[in-house]
Each structure stands twice: as structure tokens, then as C-alpha cells.
A and B are shown apart, each in its own frame.
Chain A
Amino acid sequence: MTEITAQPAREPLLARINWVDVGPFIALGVLLLAGVLINPDFLSPTNITNVVTRSAFIAIIAVGATFVISSGGLDLSVGSMTAFVTGIMIMFMNAMVPAMGANSIIAGMALVLCVGALCGLFNGLIVTVGKIEPFIVTLGTMGIFRALITFMSDGGNIPLDRSLREPFRPVYYGNLLGIPIPILVSVVVALVGAFILYKTKFGRRCAAVGANEEVARFSGISVGRVRTLAFVIQGICVAIAAICYVPRLGAATPTTGSLWELQVITAVVIGGTALRGGKGRIWGTVAGAVILEMIANLMVLSNFISEYLVAAVQGVIIIIAMLVQRFSKQP
């Protein structure tokens, strides 16, 4: 199936650069430049580390979303799912503390990965076996997961046991050789994601199914299986994000992950993956997540944007970024 997107033979170097691939990184560069002009503190190591660390949740989930979207699906439930699996994880760890002590963190991580995968499988099976539009299915599960976390918390919050806060804290606040753990986790997730999407049979099938379902089916690909697996990968990514999220504030609330689904989809699209499916771009997605967080950060650091207009300016910047990419494609 790789031959579908065969490269044109010989062209001058400039024309051979794939602008959709580098677009998000150019946007990131422009944003960095604009940031320094707006406020020199923007480039301070603390600020940059904070911003990139914060973008890790969206980046990790968006890597999963790249699979779902490139296979022609869509998952609106990721924000609620994050809240739900976070709640399950905290309640499980709290219950395990008397028996396992700090080891319950490890058990909680293992559990949340399973729960995440199952949530993804649930979405995937309804989409493929039930043959219902993913938009509608995940709109439904979005409500279900959100209601479940609200029910589990009685509308309040589910706090992590105090004895687990300190041992778990480094997973968000710690660093390895100066690089914060969440950044390392998202890089690893992106590396694994890129490997699966670009180097394995499954990855190429994902793109094929998303590009043209009929053609894929005639070439012997089990479309249902590929799509379901993409949702499972999404679920696992949500669980990984939850693992990094819990130690940050040590609680799950009914507002955890609210509207993350939109940020995730925006990150994927800014990254150059087409919403209608086809080729996925993992590294673009990661850049997209960083861009989103950076725009939010710049809104606060700049002194000239009214607090009432922040969301409008963010919207305009995102649309401009997309337009730039759109037009740089056709020289």
C-alpha cells in the first residue's frame, strides 16, 4: 500500500521539500520569534520548560488521535475518558495503599493502561461492529465517561491518598538530565507512534483505510480490525497521559480534561494530518500540541490583549497558521 503515495521522480530541492511536513515546525519557529518580541521572559528556560511540559498531555493523547484520524475515525471522548480513567486510577491506588504502600502507584499505572485500552476498545467496537459514525459514538461515550466521573466523585473531587503524593510527584515535576519527565514520556510515545505508523504493516494499513476504505477492503485489509485497533491505541495514549496528569494536582474532578478533545483534534490538524483521513503526521501533531500551549502562554505574557479577547486572538492565530500551511503547499 506504500506505493499509493509514490514520490515524483526528480525535482529541484526546494520543490521536493514537503511543506505540509515542515509547516508546523515553521509555525512553531515564527511563534517563538513573535514570543521573544512580545516579552523577552518568554524564552526563559523556566517558561519554555513549563509550557512544553504542560503540552505533554495533549501531545500524548494527540499521538493516539493521529492514528484514529488517519484511519478515517474521530474520537470526541478523549477528554472525558481522561477524567474517567484518572478517577478509576486514583480510587484503585487509594484502595491499594494499606496493602501495597507506594507500590500501589505501579499497580495503578498497570490498571489504568488496561482500563484505557478497554475504553478505546469499547469505542472501536461500537464504531466498527455497530457500524455507527465515530462522531456519534464518541459523542455518546463522551457523555458517558463525563457522567461516570461526576458520579464517582459526587460532583466533588477524588483526591489522591496523601501518602502517595510525594512518591508520585516526580512523574510530573521530576526530571532526567534536566528534561522534565512528561516531556520524555511524550517523546517516547511519539517515537513509538511514529515507528508503528510509518514502519509497520498496521501503520500503513491505517493510512490506507483512511485514504480510501473501499480500495483498502478490496486489497484484503480488515478495515474493522484496523479501525478498532486505532481506537485501542487512542485509549492507551489517554491512559499514559493520565499517568502523567495524576501527580500534577493529585486529584480527579468532573472538570478534568474538559474540552481536551477539541485541543487534541486541533493539534492533530495543525500538525498536518487531514481530518478526512489518510496520511498521519506524528511529529507534526506533537508540534501542534506545543503550538497550542505556546499561544495560550503568549496570551498571558503579552500586555496588550484584553482578557476578554484572549480566546478570539487564539482562534485567529490558529486559523492563520492553517492558512499559511494551506497556501505554502502550492508554490
Chain B
Amino acid sequence: MSKTKLLAAAALTTLLVAVPAFAQEKKTIAVSIPAATHGWTGGVVYHAQKAAEEIQAAFPNIEVIVKTSPSAEAQVSALEDLTAAGTLDALVILPFSSDELTGPVQSVSESGTFITVVDRGLTDPEIQDLYVAGDNIAVGSTTAKFLVDSLGGKGDVVVLRGIPTVIDDERIQGFQEGLEGSDINILDIQYANWNSDEAFSLMQDYLAKYPHIDAVWANDDDMLLGVLEAIEQSGRTEIKYALGGNGMKEIIEKVMAGDAMTPIETPYPPSMIKTAIYMTAAQFNGQAPVRGTVKLDAPLITQENAEEYYFPDSPF
């Protein structure tokens, strides 16, 4: 049902764009994001659509167009389409890849458009007026600190990492730094490509290889789902914690319910797109200064504050 609503909203926005702007101070914000291909980008699309609806309802003079693209090339074409349709007052973009999008975004910027970059930075940070991102290093280190505290500074952990990318490297780096100085020993780190099936297999193999594991960290919640099934099937009882990262709603639900094995979560919220859209809108409406860099923290989500990070209608 929400899908038809979204489609209707998208259709409506297109209609509105097609009509030439009569009101003079009407401002247009274009949002260019990757299409939903996995949970996290699904969340980005959801929150972008939500933000667009909310801002248009609150500020009738601001128009928000959300455009999703399935690849970097498609995103470049989308930028061309968006700028061809009329003057953009602002562009909020979550670039598919830094290298390919830097040039096209620069040319949009040259026509006087306010540029907000989200999550993945461009190769030339001079282009952006506002940069909003999460903190992948903190995702790792917050989790590591929790483990150090709750395992009493010692124990054996296994780690599942994602797809070899900067995001993955930073999370692992943060985790390793967070454990420094403690007696917690990382038994093994292997790739499971942010895929729950591969994580299930890898966890089964970890369980076969190591007779004693105190805690598991999957650096993404999709993988954690596979890990939890593998642990349940093995019947092993010595594993105290199985933790994830990102803020998937299924895992937040566990945290809210006070699950013993997954009592905490660290966010890398797809809703950061919403922060970016709201901030971009703020300067048009209230002339609030927003130029600069915003790095969202990855605070520990516990049973007490889980509600804040829970979006039951989001696909993620």
C-alpha cells in the first residue's frame, strides 16, 4: 500500500515540476539517490520520500523531487535530466561512486545550485556546500568498547566483514582500535559479503573451527541474521554476545525487547538522508546557515533509547 502511495507521490512531484514555477520564491530541491538494491539503500529511499512529503507539507514554497538511479551512469543521466527540467536551487546527492559523480556534480554546482553530499564523499570536497555522513569507524569502535566493558576486558571474538570497500575497512579498523589495550582476542576475520546466507555458512564454519567463542561481531545486520540462526542451530551456549551494526529494524526490535544475546546496536542510519534534506531546506526557509560538515555519531543503542532509531514502516 505504501508503494502505491509512494508512486502517487512521485507522480505528483513530476507533475508539479512540469508546471512552470509561477510563485517567484518557490525553491526546488532535487534529491538523487541510489535505487533500493539492498536493505540499507531501501531505507535511504524510504526516508528520502518521507522527508520530501514532510517538507512539502510544512513549507509550501519548497518543492522536493526524489530521483533514484540503479547505477552510477544512470545517476549521471538523472543529474542531466534534473538540471534540464529547470533551475535547481539545491541538490542533495548520495553519490553511487565518488569518482564518476564528481565531474557531473561539479557542473551542477557551477550553475549556482547549493550542493549537499551525503555518505560517500566526492573526490573534490570543494564542490559541496554541505556534507552529511555517518561515522563508520565509530560503528566499529562503539561495538568494541561495549564488548570490552561487558566481557570484562578479556575473551575470544570472531568477526564477519562485508564486501571489500572503504566502509568495511573503516568499521574493522574502528573495531580493532576499540579493542586495543584489552585482552580480547580476535580469533578470525573473514568476508561474508554483507549477505545473510554467506554469514550463516561462515558462522557454522567458525563454530566448527573454534570450540570456544565469547562473542561474535558481524559488521552489518543482514549478516547478523544469518549468524543468529547458525548459533541457534549449533546449540552452543558459551557465546554471550552476537552483535551487528547499521540499525536494521529487526535488530532494533531485539534490542527493544531486551534480548540477552543482542542487547545493543550501533547505527549507521539510512535516515541520514533525511538530516541532509531537512538541513538543505532549512536555509531556504529560515535562512539558517548550514554550510559545513556534519558527521553523525554512532552512539550505543540500548533498550532505553532504541525507540528513537525504530522505523516500523521502513523496509530497513
Q: Show the binding face of A for B, using Cβ within 8 Å.
A: 39, 41-42, 44, 46-47, 50, 54, 150, 153-157, 159, 173, 248-249, 251, 253-256, 258, 293, 296-297, 300-301, 307-308, 310
Contacts and interface: CB of A to CB of B under 8 A. Distances in A.
B250 interface: yes
A97 B209 CA distance: 40
A80 to B, nearest CB: 12
Residues of B contacting A: mostly: helix
B202 A156 contact: no
Interface in B131-184: 161, 164
Contacts of A253: 38-39, 196, 222
B241 interface: no
Interface string B184-228: 000011110011110011101110110000000000001001100
B42 A155 contact: yes
B45 interface: yes
Interface residues of B, number: 40
**Which among A54, A154, A300 has the greatest number of chain B C-beta atoms within 10 A?**
A154
Contacts of A41: 208-209
B114 interface: no
Given A159-B250, A253-B39, A254-B37, A154 B3 contact: yes
Contact of B39 (A155, A248, A300): A155
B39 to A, nearest CB: 5
Given A39-B209, A155-B41, A255-B38, A54 B204 contact: yes
Nearest to B313: A154
Given A154-B3, A301-B205, A307 B42 contact: no
B189 A301 contact: no
A88 to B, nearest CB: 16
Given A46-B208, A150-B36, A54 B225 contact: no
Contact of B191 (A44, A47, A310): A310
Contacts of B200: 248-249
A301 B208 contact: yes
B307 interface: no
A155 B37 contact: yes
A296 B161 CA distance: 16
A154 B42 contact: yes
A155 B38 contact: yes
Contacts of B234: 46
A249 B195 CA distance: 11
Given A253-B39, A300-B206, A156 B196 contact: no
B197 A256 contact: yes
Contacts of A297: 201, 205, 208
22 contacts: A39-B209, A42-B208, A44-B208, A46-B234, A150-B36, A150-B37, A153-B315, A154-B46, A154-B315, A156-B39, A156-B315, A248-B197, A249-B197, A249-B200, A251-B196, A253-B39, A253-B196, A253-B222, A256-B197, A300-B188, A307-B190, A307-B191
Nearest to B44: A155
A153 B189 CA distance: 30
B95 interface: no
Contacts of A293: 201
Nearest to B34: A155
Contacts of A258: 195
A155 B45 contact: yes
Given A47-B205, A50-B204, A253-B39, 12 more contacts: A39-B209, A154-B42, A156-B36, A254-B36, A256-B197, A258-B195, A293-B201, A297-B208, A300-B202, A301-B209, A307-B189, A310-B190
B42 A249 contact: no
B229 interface: yes
Contacts of B244: none
B46 to A, nearest CB: 7
Contacts of B201: 54, 293, 296-297
A179 to B, nearest CB: 16
A256 B222 CA distance: 11
B316 interface: yes
A44 B204 CA distance: 13
The 8 closest A-B pairs by CB, nearest first: A155-B36, A155-B42, A156-B315, A154-B315, A300-B205, A47-B208, A156-B42, A50-B204
Interface in B261-316: 314-316
B190 A300 contact: yes
A46 B201 CA distance: 13
Nearest to B204: A50
B44 to A, nearest CB: 9
A255 B42 CA distance: 12
B233 interface: yes
A41 to B, nearest CB: 6
Interface string B71-94: 000000000000000000000000
A157 B316 CA distance: 8
Contacts of A256: 197
Interface string B17-46: 000000000000000000111110111011
Nearest to A44: B208
B191 A255 contact: no
Nearest to A302: B209
Nearest to B2: A154
Contacts of A46: 208, 234
